[in-house]
Amino acid sequence: MTNAEIAAVFEQIADLLEFQGANPFRVRAYRTAARNIGELTEPLAEIVAAGDRDLTELPGIGQDLAEKIVTLLKTGSLPLLEVLKSQVPESVLTLLRVPGLGPKRAAALYKKLQITTLEELRQACLDHRVRELEGFGSKTEENILKGIEAAIQAGQRILWYEADQIVQSLREHLEPTAGLHRLVPAGSYRRGKDTVGDLDFLALADTPDPVMDRLATFRGVKDILARGDTKMSIVLQNGIQVDLRVVPAESFGAALQYFTGSKEHNVILRGMAKNRGLKINEYGVFRGEEQIAGREEEEVYAALDLPWFPPELREGRKEFEWAAAGKLPDLITLDDIRGDLHIHSTWSDGMATIEEIAEAARARGYQYIAITDHSQRVTVANGLNAERLLAQWEAIDRLAKKWRGFHILKGVEVDILEAGGLDLPDEVLKEADWVVASVHFGQNQPRDQITRRMIDALKNPYVCAIAHPTGRLLVERPPYEVDIDAVLRAARDYGKMMELNAHPRRLDLDDVACAVAKAYGVPIAISTDAHSVSGLDAMRYGVMQARRGGLTRADVVNTRPWRELKKLLPKYRK
């Protein structure tokens, strides 16, 4: 079992427990474990096989969970999960895929209307039986109906980081093939899109058969959908399709360009070729019968007098305009990052102490971090009241003396309350070095209301940025109804920043909103929202999303070295 699969089991247990109305802290423990396991870089299977380390040393894993992980790895299942499943029909869990439909409401639908499938839920909405239930109403019924369509579509895509795990294990499996010279994953994966529909591998090999034979023996294969002379399609256990194409050397660059896409980018490119009397396809660029390019991607673009485009920009948005003006942005890279401005510690629901996080951040060459634990309203996350927050900041001051050239900003993630206003008084926020504000409650409010709350939060002189501004959870929950353009304009007007939350489930702001923020001159903080040391690794996903939004080093605040940041921060608090 992979870490992602183990995390999925704990996530499922949390869903089932919540569905049954279990103690929220118990539910939270499973969710936290799932999240931490998802963030681990080392495979649990290897740690357990090596047998020289105690799993309880891992963040958020106590004795009970450690035993469960071992059982899972040994037997592939868990007694607790089986018991829970026997109490709740499994199909009910698919109801949870409907955006905005949490376990509590799903349980009500199941108990009161005996609904167990998406199809039954759809019918119940159409019959207006759902709006009759206590706590539902006609607006909710409409939203559920919309959500069902979204759930059906979203169920077919996976997160980029999950795709990445599959890509890495497929690479390891395929690379030893004799006669294989190049193997590149193209498609949306290569473009760094936040979710991926299927994987598109290209191979350059002496002969196609050995690599296709080897693909057939990959451990995750459920079905071989098709196999031709040079093309093969398989579907994995998790339902994800993998296409493999073996292409000749003289066409490799053209195939890579074509199958990287996007389709929109390719359509524009084909039009440009046509205007020059050329033809472009997955085999090359042709003038009449003569192939004039195709071996490398660069020469394919060069044949059309175009620069090589970073794959993240190939969405058919502004990239051709930029190229024509000779102004492709010099995209930010992970190396540009100097610090991380949204991190949780053991003071709220984080798994690592401030000191552990600081050491880890130093080890990756950062010059600073901000500790931003939750405020009191978020009780399940052990949010801090003013008194505990001030105590934490004193602790940070003491700790900070330990290091030269490394700095810990005293921060907080303050809740934007349901009724508007912030969860901590200005006298407290004023003492912070860095304040991010975010919505955790009242997420389903109408557009005007939730937008107003965020704009008001930006008006607060001590708030620096809004964290995860749209609240989306990829393939799980749609964004709040917020008017994000209005929020970005407010950020511009009040001289504030916005967060790009780098967690692979969030990536919020998304690429398009990042581009809008840039156009408004609103700086972006790419932050991991780490709840453990390995959570800091998420920075790469955030950087990738920022690249898709066309951001450069200058557009991102946490590329600034400490001495610049220090001078800059007061300008965002006024």
Binding site for ligand DGT (CB under 6 A): 187-188, 193, 196-198, 200, 258-259, 261-263, 266-267
552 interface partner picked from Zn ion, ligand DGT, Ca ion, none, CB below 5 to 8 A per type: none
Q: Give the pair of three-digit tokens for residue 101.
A: 């439909």
User: Is 200 among the residues that bind Ca ion (CB under 5 A)?
Assistant: yes
Contacts of 290 (CB under 8 A, 6+ apart): none
Work out how close the CB of 101 gets to ligand DGT at its nearest, in angstroms, rounded to a whole number.
Answer: 25
Binding mask 238-277 for Ca ion (x = CB under 5 A): -----x----------------------------------
Work out how close the CB of 384 gets to Zn ion at its nearest, in angstroms, rounded to a whole number.
Answer: 12
164 interface partner picked from Ca ion, ligand DGT, Zn ion, none, CB below 5 to 8 A per type: none
Which CB atom, from 49 or from 224, has the smaller least distance to Ca ion?
224
> Containing H/E element for 498?
strand 497-501
User: Cα-flanking dihedrals φ and ψ of residue 243, to 5°?
Assistant: -105, 135
Which CB atom, from 258 or from 286, has the smaller least distance to Ca ion?
258
Which CB atom, from 45 or from 278, has the smaller least distance to ligand DGT?
278
For residue 194, what is the DSSP state? S
> Containing H/E element for 438?
strand 434-438
Question: Which residue of 164, 413, 423, 510 would you call a contact of Zn ion, by CB under 5 A?
Answer: 413
Q: Taking the alpha carbons of 538, 541, 545, 551 in that order, is the dihedral positive or negative?
A: positive
Question: Which residue of 39, 162, 164, 198 would you call a contact of Ca ion, by CB under 5 A?
Answer: 198
Work out how close the CB of 210 gets to ligand DGT at its nearest, in angstroms, rounded to a whole number.
Answer: 24
Stretch that binds Ca ion, among 187-195, 373-381, 388-396, 555-563 (CB under 5 A): 187-195
Contacts of 112 (CB under 8 A, 6+ apart): 133
Work out how close the CB of 387 gets to ligand DGT at its nearest, in angstroms, rounded to a whole number.
Answer: 49
Please give the Cα distance from 390 to 457 (Å, whole number): 21
Amino acid symbol at 228: G
| Pick from 422, 420, 436: nearest CA to 468 | 436
Q: How many CB atoms lie within 10 A of CB 38?
A: 23
The residue at minimum Cβ distance from ligand DGT is: 261
Work out how close the CB of 436 gets to Zn ion at its nearest, in angstroms, rounded to a whole number.
Answer: 8
Which CB atom, from 94 or from 262, has the smaller least distance to ligand DGT?
262
User: Is 187 among the residues that bind Ca ion (CB under 5 A)?
Assistant: yes
Stretch that binds Zn ion, among 7-15, 143-151, 397-405, 408-416 (CB under 5 A): 408-416
Please give the Cα distance from 326 to 309 (Å, whole number): 12
460 interface partner picked from ligand DGT, Zn ion, Ca ion, none, CB below 5 to 8 A per type: none
User: Cα-flanking dihedrals φ and ψ of residue 560, to 5°?
Assistant: -70, 135
On whether the CB atoms of residues 193 and 160 are closer than 8 A, the answer is yes
User: Is 340 among the residues that bind Zn ion (CB under 5 A)?
Assistant: no
Which CB atom, from 361 or from 475, has the smaller least distance to ligand DGT?
475
Contacts of 181 (CB under 8 A, 6+ apart): 204, 205, 206
Which CB atom, from 202 or from 463, has the smaller least distance to Ca ion?
202
C-alpha of 87 from chain center: 32
Residues 497-536 interacting with Zn ion (rule: CB under 5 A): 529
User: Is 194 among the residues that bind Ca ion (CB under 5 A)?
Assistant: no
- DSSP string covering 466-481, please? ESSTT--BTTTBPPPS
181 interface partner picked from Ca ion, Zn ion, ligand DGT, none, CB below 5 to 8 A per type: none
Please give the Cα distance from 53 to 59 (Å, whole number): 13
> Number of helices and strands (H, E) in the chain?
24, 17
Please give the Cα distance from 188 to 196 (Å, whole number): 6
Residues that bind Zn ion (CB under 5 A): 413, 529
Residues that bind Ca ion (CB under 5 A): 187-188, 198, 200, 243
